[in-house]
Amino acid sequence: MEKDKKINYFNIFLEEIKKIKEVDKNPKLLLHVCCGACSAYPLLFLVNLFDITIYFTNSNIYPYEEYMKRLNALMEYVDYLNINFNSNIKVISDTYNYEEFKKDLLPYKDEKEGLNRCKICILKRIKKAFIYAKENKYKYLTTVMSVSRNKDVNYINEIGKTLEKEFPEVKFLVSDFKKENGQDIGVNITKKLNIYRQNYCGCEFSNYGED
């Protein structure tokens, strides 16, 4: 029964930010971002709270041209925020290696979305972010993926807290960016700024490119 209990990750996130700001006025955050569209609301929410470095590690995206569309959309939005909010958001782009990434997904290529293939994909990317955070001494880490209604927010946060035990130097901030209409706000931002919005998750084994 305990597993069915709903957790308000957004409220936990707000409380955690409050505690962090009491001891560090300009904390450094490594933020995993999957695309420009999903970053719209989370970055707007976080821009005045953290010194943000984005880690774009998304070798799940197929094909490479789509990967570049999403990275370029992210860069476009970050430029907008840095100019209009006098911020200094930085973007680190990990090496794209789809053929290596998909090896772990192949056994589950025929599954429906949301099952093992998706869980492995999320795990691999968040773990890469943890590794980067540890190696580059980022104390705080989170991901924007919880903004999507198509993602399992419980799984995302459970993975983050599990990996935190493996990487105790890095604190994973649980979140749920779709709260307070986060996803809808993000959609409106991207439409207003004419920022590219994709129509599939990125996986070759999803119905990629379909409307």
| pLDDT single digits (tens) 158-197 | 999 999 999 999 999 999 999 999 999 999 999 999 999 9
Q: How many domains does the chain have?
A: 1
**pLDDT tens sequence across 34-64:** 999 999 999 999 999 999 999 999 999 999 9
Asked whether residue 208 is domain-assigned, the answer is no
Asked whether residue 141 is domain-assigned, the answer is yes
Phi, psi of 29 (to 5 degrees): -125, 130
User: What is the reported pTM?
Assistant: 0.95
Q: CB pairs under 8 A, 24+ apart, for 79-86?
A: 80/193, 81/43, 81/44, 81/47, 85/47, 85/48
Asked whether residue 76 is domain-assigned, the answer is yes
| Domain assignment of residue 56, given as a range | 2-193
Mean pLDDT of the chain: 94
Asked whether residue 199 is domain-assigned, the answer is no
Span 59-71, average pLDDT? 97
Look at residue 206 in the predicted model and tell me its pLDDT.
85
Looking at the chain, the whole-number percentage of residues with pLDDT higher than 70 is 95
Residue 47, domain CATH: 3.40.50.620
Compute the distance between CA of residue 207 and CA of residue 198 in angstroms, rounded to an integer.
Answer: 12
